[in-house]
Chains A and B, each alone.
Chain A
Amino acid sequence: MRYEFRKLIFRREVFVLALIFLGVLVFLCVQSDFRAPDSAWDEICYQEFTAFQETELPALVQSFKENSETGSTAYIRTDYQKAFDCYNAKLSFRPYDTLAARQVLSLLEFTPARVLFILLVLAFLCPLFTQETEHQMIPLLMTARHGARRLFRRKMLTAFLSVLVLSFLYTITGALSLWLYAKLPLSALAAPVRSLINLHYCPFALSIGGYLLFLSFCRALAVLPAVALIFLLSVFPLHHLAVLGITSAASGSLIALSGVSEYAHWVFKQLGLFELLTTEQYFTTYETVNVLGVPVFRITLAILFTVLFAATIIAYAAALALRPERSTSLETRVSSSQ
């Protein structure tokens, strides 16, 4: 599999896109409201945090965390939810909310950053699928004993591992940007994710760092359909830049359209295909959908449909790619017409 990874590196367009991505990230940091706290601000944080520690609320929150792991319905209906709401109301300042983790998430949720991340992933992965067609390797590979099937398995594995790593790096880059610019303490990553306004309903006792890892995994899954599209397009004799262009245009425009019109990709939205890119609704449950009475998280259906959608495209592309006559369809027609 190391040879599949070797095909990915040292591509000019990847470096260019990576530089653009980092540049945009830096620009967003500079332009957005991520003010580095001064010493007076630090003092306020410390006082509030100390005051918080001296109340009964930390014990309540701890108890709430331990009990809510039994299920989302349990935590919604128990007094612990009320206790948690009380904690939210009483605290005027949440040390790990405004500055650190929330800003990490909001930075990562910026549409331009999301689109750029997807473009970067596509540019990185494109050569993995297009090199064989581009460099006329298909006849050699199709006549190797285990050529076609082994190659297909390795490419899929390489693609998914690469997407996972890139997604993780994307998350780390966002967090590091805030650490460097907004003087975010890394210890903020250990805070409970429920301390964030957007995710106070999270039924799982995750830290912010753990949640970001989970986010990386979800983001990797979200890009899978686009990767599947690259695989499908690479079956045809297209230049890798054409494949990259078509896939990027399709993915980028769908995401951009979501900001313009809620109904622009209504079908995809209903199937949850873009849910994995928007984190706010991850752990909300459907009102009308349940499995034997157990509520279903939006993220569950999002993962299911995304994987199914990508798997369908990959299966179709594999069927096309593994046809024996694929390697000779153009060459033979040219030679027979001479």
Chain B
Amino acid sequence: MKLEFHHLSKNYGETKALVDFDASLSQGIYALLGPNGAGKSTLINILAGLLPPSEGHITVDGEDTLSMGPRFRAMLGYLPQSVGFYPDFTARAFMHYLADLKGFPGKSGAAITEKLLSEVNLTDSADCKIKTFSGGMKQRLGLAQALIGDPQLLILDEPTTGLDPQERVRFRNLVGRLSSHMTVIYCTHIVSDIESIADDVLLLSKGTLIARNNPGTLTEQLIGKVWEVPVSPEKADILLANHSTAAVVNHDGSLWLRHISDAPPQASAIACEPNLEDVYMNTFGERNETALL
């Protein structure tokens, strides 16, 4: 499947939420990375058919998704940012309900339900009411419903918000395992979620696609530009306020400032291996090349 965005724009009055977005995606996991207000959710909502674009269109194998209608929705699996459930439904009933709405009634829906609940490790809780579920369980159930019908396009809109680290890792592994034959669009601002599973990262800022590459290539661009400097707690806040590309890290009880600059900010600075979070900070922060201390 080839998913293409053609000059996609969305305006809310004077506000431009998305500006001339162009991209071509095929099978794989694509991370949409950007700060709040970057246009990630707007792009997702337009793709899911929940929002009409102001300009442009989206095609799947050359066919406009709007004209495809139910055929496009049949190949779509969607996990929204705020996933809703009927609290008095059991997980099994909820899955049956959605399977029916997605065109899998009766026994076929029941078979799909059991298979997916097993995949997300919710079989034991299948007959419990959703209102008794933890956040992680609800997200897994949300993922299960998105996978009904074996979709070719899976959209995950900030799926790990509110989950503890262990649940996030579990969810990430689940996505990686279950989405091997799909195009997955993973929208997040939590870098660690996609660092190990994304094939490509699309960086959005203020509605514009500013960079696109695989995580390895993106981090390579910062080799020799990431430094760590020891700081005192008193100076850490001041430095953070003045250097938006900086972050404070803790190594064995002492504070170090992780800083991005072309040259070492200080004589005592140690060069570090860049990661995707550094790429995020470098892309969306403002570099301040003045001396730290």
Contacts and interface: CB of A to CB of B under 8 A. Distances in A.
A78 interface: no
Contacts of B87: 135
B97 interface: yes
A145 interface: yes
A10 interface: yes
A156 interface: no
B215 interface: no
Contact of B74 (A6, A10, A142, A145): A145
B29 to A, nearest CB: 20
A335 interface: yes
Interface in B43-95: 45, 48-52, 70, 73-74, 76, 78, 80-89, 93
B268 to A, nearest CB: 38
A291 to B, nearest CB: 43
Contact of A139 (B48, B52, B102): B48
B84 A143 contact: no
Interface stretch (A275-283, A299-307, A324-332): A324-332
B73 A144 contact: yes
A328 B50 contact: yes
Contact of B70 (A131, A145, A325): A145
B241 interface: no
B101 interface: yes
A146 B84 contact: no
Interface string A112-139: 0000000000000000000110011111
Contacts of B36: 335, 338
A333 B70 contact: no
B49 A336 contact: no
B230 interface: no
B80 A139 contact: yes
A140 B41 contact: no
A226 B17 CA distance: 39
A151 interface: yes
Given A143-B49, A145-B149, A335 B80 contact: no
B204 to A, nearest CB: 13
Nearest to B79: A140
Contacts of B83: 136, 140
Given A136-B82, A335-B36, A143 B145 contact: no
B12 A146 contact: no
A3 B96 contact: yes
Contacts of A146: 70, 101-103
B250 interface: no
Interface in B156-208: none
Interface residues of B, number: 39
Contact of A140 (B37, B39, B78, B96): B78
Contacts of A142: 49-50
Given A145-B70, A325-B52, A332-B45, A137 B85 contact: yes
B51 A325 contact: yes
Given A137-B84, A335-B41, A336-B37, A144 B102 contact: yes
Contacts of A132: 84
Contacts of B97: 3
Interface in B97-117: 97-98, 100-103
Given A145-B149, A325-B52, A337-B15, A137 B73 contact: no
B78 to A, nearest CB: 4
Nearest to A142: B50
Contact of B86 (A131, A144, A331, A333): A131
A318 B269 CA distance: 64
A324 B73 contact: no
Contacts of B45: 139, 328, 332
Interface in A132-170: 132, 135-147, 150-151
Contacts of A140: 78, 80, 83-84, 98, 145
A131 B86 CA distance: 7
Interface of A: 3, 6-7, 10, 131-132, 135-147, 150-151, 324-325, 327-328, 331-333, 335-338
5 contacts: A139-B50, A140-B83, A140-B145, A143-B50, A146-B103
Interface of B: 12, 15, 17, 36-37, 39, 41-42, 45, 48-52, 70, 73-74, 76, 78, 80-89, 93, 96-98, 100-103, 145, 149
Given A324-B52, A335-B36, A336-B42, 12 more contacts: A6-B93, A135-B85, A135-B86, A136-B82, A142-B49, A143-B50, A145-B149, A146-B102, A146-B103, A324-B49, A324-B51, A328-B45
